[in-house]
Amino acid sequence: MKRVHIYDTTLRDGAQSEGISFTVKDKIRIAEKLDELGVDFIEGGWPGSNPKDDEFFEEATRSLKLKRSALVAFGSTRRAGAGTASDRVIKSLLKSGTKYLTIFGKSWDLHVKTVLRTTLKENLKMIEDSVRYLKKKGRRVFFDAEHFFDGYKENPGYAIDTLKAAFDGGAEVLVLCDTNGGALTSQVFEVVEDVAARIKAPLGIHAHNDADMAVANSIAAVQAGCTQVQGTFNGYGERCGNANLVSILPTLRFKLGLECLAGFGFKDLTEASRYVAEISNVRPQDTQPYVGKSAFAHKAGVHVNAILKDSRTYEHIDPAKVGNRRRILISELSGKSSILGKAGEFEMEIEKTSDEAKKILSRVQDMEKEGYHFELAEASLSLLMSRAVEAVKKYFELEDFRVIVEKRGDAPIVSEATIKLRIGDQLRHTVSLGDGPVHALDQALRKSLIEFYPSLSEMHLSDFRVRVLDEKAATAARVRVLIQSQDRTDSWWTVGVSVNIIEASWEALKDSIEYKFMKDAKKKKKR
């Protein structure tokens, strides 16, 4: 099986993504996760460029114990007209203490003339001298040919000469960079094939995503002869990002049959993607291929009917291979098969020949017409279906509630909720203050229930969203309220719809608590 080496640059290129700022501890944690997965090379940063990267390499030397991966330091060639041994960047690279170094050099004559403001000949000497010097110091060197595809397009002979200079200096891999991210996939394939025919050296690909082709360009480069792929987890990076390794890895393994990570458990890929997103403080993209929440989500009834018979009909890969799972979405577009599939997911028994599925579907379609959205609120859907197929315990019944919001002069607004509940054969009447009307209602409801259901103390609301469903109706518009709740082990969403935001909030709030009680009862029953 052909081997492709994976080079991750999340800690450097990924850190250049707008909105991302890693601490040294963050970088250590991500490096440890990449090592667990078996990534071949982890680019830690550019020593000498900023204090944080210097601190990272110092900390990595002390505490980072990599088992499968090799840490790499990144930098540039020496400056024009300067001595290699005295060059600040070269000295910083050596000081990093890593066995592997990656240096970039200009392969586009435009950059040599307008950015470096030196001669084409001097640029070639800068590349060769830098690589050769680092090799003499016992380091293994990769060469990133910056802007290679743009340079090749305008002056192919010179672009090839920069690769030869690096190879003559002792570079182990020549990495072709689409730095501006504008190359087309067919162009990448043709260029890599031509380079492979001219230079008998291992080639790599480093693609940016400015034309939304970084993953495709990376795969094409491998098919044309590259044996190293550089990219970032989740495609983080400057401007539109880098090639997304999370998409590249399973494509190489499951589509092309290539070995790309030693000892790698692809079943951990989804978890790893979300782990890096969490540390990066970036919300995971639901539609991200392979690992996104929606990657294997099916909504149309025709699709669901087909995948329940044979998953290959609408899934290009088994989601379990990458640690993801199939999701069946219920909406007005669903059919009976969707309801049956969802029932299986919820561990409910509905006979195929019964009318229960039709009744549930009809109810869902009617409610979605009113503005409910069960794709986003599966806890409310679970309650709806449970009530339709079995006798669900009534944990509490609402007698009435009242919410008062009062503003007096310059004093802060006061929100107070009064609620009367029937719990079994007891009637509870409680009052509570809150930061707002919904919070006050939540507090009053909890105060009434906590004595009877102590597990409520481990549950809290974690998100609250309101959407106006008919903007033209202005303040009289119907609104949809979504509430996210969580306890020690789970997180779930519920929904309510009304022209009154307090009533919509009550519906979602009531469902969130009833779902908690129903979930706990099912767990207790399984023991």
Q: pLDDT by residue (tens digit) across 229-247?
A: 999 999 999 999 999 999 9
DSSP-assigned beta bridge partners for residue 205: 176, 229
Q: Within 13 Å and on the Cβ side, how many CA atoms surround 252?
A: 30
Residue 488 pLDDT: 87
pLDDT, position 40: 96
Q: What are the contacts of 301-309 at 24+ separation with CB within 8 A?
A: 301/333, 301/334, 301/335, 301/336, 301/337, 301/338, 302/335, 304/328, 304/334, 304/335, 304/337, 304/338, 304/341, 305/335, 305/337, 305/338, 308/337, 308/340, 308/341
Of residues 364 and 509, more confidence is placed in: 509
Is residue 44 predicted with pLDDT exceeding 60? yes
pLDDT of the residue at 474: 60
Do strands 173-178 and 203-207 pair parallel, antiparallel, or not at all (unpaired)? parallel
- Parallel, antiparallel or unpaired: strands 228-231 and 297-298: unpaired
Region 448-471: what's the mean pLDDT? 89
Q: Are 101 and 141 in contact (CB under 8 A)?
A: yes
Among 53-57, 66-70, 406-410, which stretch is predicted with the lowest mean pLDDT?
406-410
406-452 under CATH 3.30.160, yes or no? yes
Looking at residue 332, its pLDDT comes to: 59
Average pLDDT over residues 145-170: 97
pLDDT at residue 9 greater than cutoff 70: yes
Please write the tens of the pLDDT for every residue from 207-227: 999 999 999 999 999 999 999
pLDDT recorded at residue 91: 96
Query: In this predicted structure, what is the pLDDT of residue 437?
Result: 92
Residue 393's pLDDT is 81
SS (H, E, C) 118-167: CCHHHHHHHHHHHHHHHHHCCCEEEEEEECHHHHHHHCHHHHHHHHHHHH
Q: Hunting for tokens 């990133």 — which residue is that?
A: 144
- Mean pLDDT of all residues in 133-145: 98
Residue 391 pLDDT level (bands cut at 50, 70, 90)? low
Give the span between the Cα atoms of 323 and 183, in whole angstroms: 32
pLDDT beyond 70 at 473: no
Q: What is the mean pLDDT of residues 113-118?
A: 94
pLDDT for residue 399: 93
Q: What pLDDT sits at residue 353?
A: 65
CATH number attached to the domain at 5-264:
3.20.20.70
pLDDT for the residue 476: 61
pLDDT of the residue at 325: 87
Whole-angstrom distance, CA of residue 198 vs CA of residue 71: 30
* Chain mean pLDDT for the chain: 91
pLDDT in the model for residue 475: 58
Termini Cα distance of the chain: 46
Q: Are 369 and 363 in contact (CB under 8 A)?
A: no
pLDDT number for residue 254: 95
3-state DSSP call for residue 306?
A: helix
Q: Stretch 424-439: mean pLDDT, rounded?
A: 92
Q: Do residues 17 and 236 lie in contact, with contact meaning Cβ atoms separated by under 8 Å?
A: yes
Is pLDDT larger for residue 113 or for residue 353?
Answer: 113
Strand partners, 57: none
Model pLDDT, residue 339: 77
Residue 363 confidence (pLDDT): 85
Q: Quick: pLDDT tens for 492-509.
A: 999 999 999 999 999 999
Task: Give the span between the Cα atoms of 501 and 521, in whole angstroms.
Answer: 30
Query: Which percentage of the chain shows pLDDT scores above 90?
Result: 71
- 362's CB contacts (< 8 A; 6+ apart) are none
Is 35:262 a contact under the CB 8 Å cutoff?
A: no
Confidence of residue 309 (pLDDT cuts 50, 70, 90): confident
Q: Exposed (0-12), middle (13-18) or buried (19+): which is 457, by Cβ within 10 Å?
A: exposed
Q: Where are the domains of the chain?
A: 5-264, 406-452
pLDDT band, very low/low/confident/very high, at 328 (cuts 50, 70, 90): confident
Q: Which of 142-156, 414-428, 513-527 has the lowest mean pLDDT?
A: 513-527
pLDDT at 105: 97
Q: What is the pLDDT of residue 366?
A: 85
Residue 477's pLDDT is 77
Report how far residue 415's alpha carbon sits from residue 440's, in angstroms, rounded to the nearest whole number. 6
Q: Residue 20's pLDDT band (boundaries 50, 70, 90)?
A: very high
CB burial readout 279-297, b (16+ within 10 A) else e: bbeeebbeebbbbbbebbb
| CA–CA separation, 118 and 405 (whole Å) | 71
Give the pLDDT of residue 361: 80
